Structure 1
Amino acid sequence: MTPAPDPRTWADAGTGLLLAGLDTLSDAELDQPCALAGWTRRHLLAHVASNAEALGRLLSWARTGVETPMYGSPGERAAAIESGASRPDLRRWVAASAAELAEAADAMPATAWAAEVVTAQGRTVAAGETSWMRARETCVHAVDLGTGTTFDDLPEGFLAVLVDDIAAWRSARPGPAIRLITPHTGHEITGDGTPVPVDLPLATAAAWLAGRHREAGLPTLPHWL
């Protein structure tokens, strides 16, 4: 059996797509809206850079045992994005923060990955989950940047795990009941009413579950993350 790819591989792929897209944008284009309502591309990039630093704090927590939360508060997180969006070195910050997080991961002792840390959403997880958290961040936001990258450009293994992840998340929250089938996965998403059958290509299913694809005839989903 072929071993599953390390989520860090997917995080690196997403980072590569994000930075490649960023290189195509002028400073004026950074001021334009991204795919996320209310945010410019600058806000999106500041969010990704701030996320890298926040995950780095979780790795420090796991490595040293000294509690270092991702953010002091939701307000601190929002302020970091707002102030970061106007940084003159925004491009460098995005690249440097990603590189620093990768270096911190490389320096992690093998035993530290099992240490428990707490996410910004209050979930207690093993430090190893930060690799998946970063993969999700970089890959999805590489699409949100709006430079031509689509879910079809994301690694297939990442898409399959993303569908698993969001389907489980949606099953624990209010929303329509769905029977989702892709060429690689099948999910019964629990919810209200009789399950609606939905058959989609893997990349389209991932985009739809993540709220990045809207098509007539598909059930309307509540907002995700």
Structure 2
Amino acid sequence: MAGQRSLADSLRWMAEGGKTFSAALAGLPDDRLDRPTALTGWTGRHLVAHVAANADALVNLAHWARTGEERPMYTSFEQRDADIQAGAVRSPAELRSWAAASAEQLDRRLSELDERQWSRPVRTAQGRTVPATEIAWLRAREVMVHAVDLGAGVGFGDLPADFLTALIDDITAKRSGAGDGPALTLTATDARDTWTVAGASERAGDPAEVTGTLAELAAYLSGRAPGPGDRPAPPLPRWL
């Protein structure tokens, strides 16, 4: 594990990721939104709807942090999925407008939070109780990774190295906590960082050693590649 990320880091990555996603989307012709993405079963329309709806959901958490009034991200996973499906049939112009407006709204709501409100506990869509500072990280992760998923020429290698390190920290911690996959020892060839992932209890044995660049490790751990540099590595269960 490379280290802890700060709120300032997360806000910086959120801003940079938002610009990266917006630029990738702006460069994507409307007809390309009808094509499949790297996410199984999702077209570009689904992906843009998801990113737009995510910003709306995080506005709910920002409201919770500011007022103390509980406001979950989504009423249910079923409603979340239904909203994405409904959003995916909007016109390209409507989708682009929604993505931009929801991102701007989230930026405004987060800018209103003071130090005390940033530390207020809120609950993620996965049911984790976290300080509101995590809202910025959740959004940074969303826009950075999905900028790659759009298939508009952005790769993991185009994302900031310190963000990739934080992303690998985040994913390895989640995979270790879930304990439902292989045990791994991961080494970055372009940084002095190593990570371990605890494997499932029934899979006793030495961890598999996986090496690659930060970008390659992030792509593998997030399920976007079968292994670093597309070299074979132990298959992983779903990340999120």
TM-score of the aligned structures, taking structure 1 as reference length = 0.95
- Is the Cα–Cα contact under 8 Å of residues 184 and 202 in structure 1 kept in the other structure? no
Matched-pair contact (CA < 8 Å) for 1:45–1:90: yes
Between the aligned partners of 1:109 and 1:39, the Cα distance in structure 2 is 37
Whether contact under 8 Å (1:18, 1:142) holds in the other structure is yes
User: Which residue identity does 1:128 align to in structure 2?
Assistant: T
After superposition, give the CA deviation of every residue in 1:50-75 in whole Å (9 maximum; x if it has no partner): 00010010010111111111011111
Which consecutive residues of structure 2, in runs of 5 or more, have no partner in the other structure? none
C-alpha separation between the residues in 1 aligned to 2:86 and 2:95? Answer: 10
Correspondence 1:44-83 to 2 at 5 A: 44-83=47-86
Aligned to 1:219: 234
Residue of structure 1 aligned with 2:43, choices 40, 43, 52: 40
Offset from partner CA, 1:164-193 (integer Å, 9 cap, x none): 111111112211111111123211211133
Tell me, in whole angstroms, the C-alpha distance in 2 between the residues paired with 1:30 and 1:188.
37
d(CA) in 1 for partners of 2:142 and 2:59? Answer: 14
SS in 1 for 2:183: strand
Question: Within 1, Cα distance between the matches of 2:124 and 2:19?
Answer: 25
Q: 1:202 aligns with which of 202, 214, 235?
A: 214
Distance 2:66 2:192 in 1: 36
Q: How many residues align?
A: 223
Match of 2:183 in 1: 177
Which residue of structure 1 aligns with residue 107 of structure 2?
102
CA pair 184-96 structure 1, distance change in 2 beyond 3 A? farther
Of 184-193 and 126-135, the range deviating more from structure 2: 184-193
- Alignment correspondent of 2:197: 189
Instruction: Return the offset for 1:216.
Output: 3.4
Deviation at 1:96, TM superposition (A): 1.1
User: CA–CA distance in 2 between the matches of 1:25 and 1:148?
Assistant: 9
In the TM superposition, what is the alpha-carbon distance from 1:219 to its structure 2 partner?
A: 1.5
Q: CA deviation digits over 1:81-127, x for unaligned, max 9?
A: 11111223110110111111011111112210110111111111111
In structure 2, relative to structure 1, the CA distance for the partners of 1:73 and 1:85 (3 Å cut) is same
Q: 1:137: which partner in 2?
A: 142
RMSD over equivalenced CA pairs, Å: 1.3
Which blocks of at least 5 consecutive residues in structure 1 are unaligned? none
Counterpart of 1:186, as a letter, is T
